[in-house]
């Protein structure tokens, strides 16, 4: 029964079923293993149990194996694998930080070079997406492949039965980024740029709802900017969301696009995508040796943008369409992503996105001093202190208001008032949580009415409780 459950969980991945083992594990190369997370307890029933993985490693590659854990959401005791465990964690369904890909490859290469019998076992949670990104990066690093699409195709053949290895567009894009660095023998560095606008060409059509998009920009796991819900600037088959004051970004950047039809409806994330500003830089990349292999100039190399015609980065070589353009006195770049290059596309099965739907992100090379972010949105960088002060002020006012009302009901003791105030806070939170339940039941509750009525309602509860105790 457990074996059937594990086969269902592993889905399209190839399993190792030899010598009494039945593991979600595949040999990509004789010395490179991709596998699922070595789990314990109940999770070990439907994933690789850590005891079985230890037994496999000790049987097949005793004293010559090293484990690479890519999960950022879970760990295990490294002593189970004789402390030969290295961690390069990043978030599931997302690309790795570009700066960590080279150290990972160097670490793997160092271990495999020590002894011809050495092997590496690389895993994330499912052992497919994140694992595939890093394995493809290493195959490119050692020169087994020179093109990202070739490495991705080979990994798909070895790891899955249907060729669907690394499927998330941003993960594939970062494999192409790494391939570009190796092919051109350039050194990666963080390049600051300015985000000017996001444009939706041929936007999706949502049934019974006005499409009101807004976006959130984040980097290194922290939000940088949140725009206001746009009743956007619309023209024929086009929605443009312009930042009145540009936003400075650098390195790995994530953009999430949301939709919220009105205030009572919950926001919906339609999709997100990642890109790296280094590959949109107008400055020519340095030629510091990066390791790996280079075949000279590549047609997808980072170039100085031409005012007359755009240059496509990675287009043709790996199927990604990122165009760079220049206009006026600034170096202006446009990152174009088709509907097939967006991550976790919501309503994809309902076909609300036209085939020619496209996202265009306009960036400008960073020149001059840093400017403040757009007042039309919410700048989340550098405002923590101000937000904290506002929260404290609101909390203090709320506490004083409730304390005064409780005192008016005859609760004179300071300790009793503190107890009642704390109880009212808890009841207020419960009442606000009940709003969501009412909305799910189809009842429309206005937030403003709820906020204005909650104190009298709670004080009525206080009064009834006091009368019942007398």
Catalytic residue ranges:
124
The Cα–Cα gap between 16 and 7 comes to: 11
Contacts (Cβ under 8 Å, ≥6 apart) of 20: none
Q: How far apart are the first and last CA of the chain?
A: 62
The Cα–Cα gap between 431 and 458 comes to: 9
Instruction: Determine whether 453 is exposed, middle or buried from the number of CB atoms within 10 Å of its CB (0-12, 13-18, 19+).
Output: exposed
The Cα–Cα gap between 306 and 313 comes to: 13
Question: Tokens at residue 423, please?
Answer: 């109880």
Q: Which of 306, 319, 318 is nearest to 183 (CA)?
A: 318
CA distances from 104 to 88, 271, 379 (A): 7, 29, 34
Instruction: Determine whether 86 is exposed, middle or buried from the number of CB atoms within 10 Å of its CB (0-12, 13-18, 19+).
Output: middle
The Cα–Cα gap between 229 and 224 comes to: 16
Name residue, tokens 């249907």: 162
Q: Provide φ and ψ at 451, rounded to 5°.
A: -65, -40
Q: How many Cα atoms are found within 13 Å in the side-chain-facing hemisphere of 173?
A: 29
CA dihedral 189, 190, 195, 199 (to 10 degrees): 50
Cα–Cα–Cα angle for 336, 337, 342, rounded to 5 degrees? 155
Question: Tokens at residue 340, please?
Answer: 């097939």
Q: Which of 26, 76, 86, 70 is nearest to 51 (CA)?
A: 76
Give the distance from CA 190 to its chain's centroid.
19
CB < 8 Å & 24+ apart, contacts of 459-468: 459/405, 459/406, 459/409, 459/424, 461/427, 462/406, 462/409, 462/420, 462/424, 463/409, 466/409, 466/410, 466/411
Q: How many Cα atoms are found within 13 Å in the side-chain-facing hemisphere of 192?
A: 9
Question: Tokens at residue 97, please?
Answer: 């930080």
């Amino acid at each position: 029964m457990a074996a059937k459950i594990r086969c269902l969980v592993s889905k399209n991945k190839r399993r190792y079923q030899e010598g009494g083992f039945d593991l979600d594990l595949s040999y990509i190369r004789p010395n490179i293993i991709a596998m699922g997370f070595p789990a314990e307890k109940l999770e070990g029933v439907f994933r690789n149990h850590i005891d079985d993985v230890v037994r496999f490693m000790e049987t097949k590659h005793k004293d010559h194996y090293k484990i690479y854990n890519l999960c950022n959401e879970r760990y295990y005791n490294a002593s189970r694998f004789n402390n030969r465990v290295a961690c390069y964690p990043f978030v599931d369904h997302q690309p790795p930080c570009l700066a960590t890909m080279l150290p990972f490859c160097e670490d793997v290469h160092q271990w495999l070079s020590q002894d011809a019998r050495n092997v590496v076992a690389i895993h994330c949670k499912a052992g497919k997406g994140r694992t595939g990104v890093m394995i493809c990066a290493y195959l490119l690093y050692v020169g087994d492949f020179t093109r990202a699409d070739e490495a991705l195709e080979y990994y798909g053949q070895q790891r899955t039965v249907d060729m669907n290895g690394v499927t998330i567009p941003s993960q594939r894009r970062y494999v192409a980024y790494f391939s570009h660095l190796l092919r051109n023998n350039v050194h990666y560095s963080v390049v600051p740029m300015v985000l000017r606008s996001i444009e939706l060409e041929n936007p999706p059509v949502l049934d019974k709802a006005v499409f009101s998009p807004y976006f959130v920009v984040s980097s290194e796991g922290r939000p940088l900017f949140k725009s206001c819900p746009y009743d956007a600037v619309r023209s024929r088959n086009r929605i443009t969301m312009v930042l009145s004051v540009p936003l400075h970004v650098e390195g790995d950047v994530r953009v999430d696009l949301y939709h919220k039809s009105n205030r009572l409806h919950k926001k919906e994330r339609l999709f997100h995508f990642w890109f790296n500003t280094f590959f949109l830089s107008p400055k020519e990349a340095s030629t510091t040796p990066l390791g790996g292999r280079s075949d000279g100039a590549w047609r997808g190399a980072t170039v100085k943008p031409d005012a007359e015609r755009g240059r496509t980065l990675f287009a043709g070589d790996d199927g990604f369409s990122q165009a760079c353009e220049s206009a006026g006195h600034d170096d202006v770049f446009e990152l174009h992503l088709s509907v097939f290059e967006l991550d976790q596309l919501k309503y994809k099965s309902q076909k609300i996105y036209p085939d020619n739907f496209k996202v265009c992100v306009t960036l400008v090379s960073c020149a001059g001093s840093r400017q403040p972010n757009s007042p039309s949105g919410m700048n989340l960088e550098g405002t923590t202190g101000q937000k904290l002060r506002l929260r404290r002020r609101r909390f203090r006012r709320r506490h004083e208001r409730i304390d005064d009302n409780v005192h008016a009901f005859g609760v004179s003791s300071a300790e009793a008032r503190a107890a009642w105030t704390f109880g009212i806070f808890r009841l207020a939170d419960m009442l606000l949580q009940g709003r969501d339940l009412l909305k799910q039941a189809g009842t429309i509750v206005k937030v403003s009415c709820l906020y204005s009525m909650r104190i009298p309602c709670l004080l009525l509860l206080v009064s009834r409780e006091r009368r019942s105790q007398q």
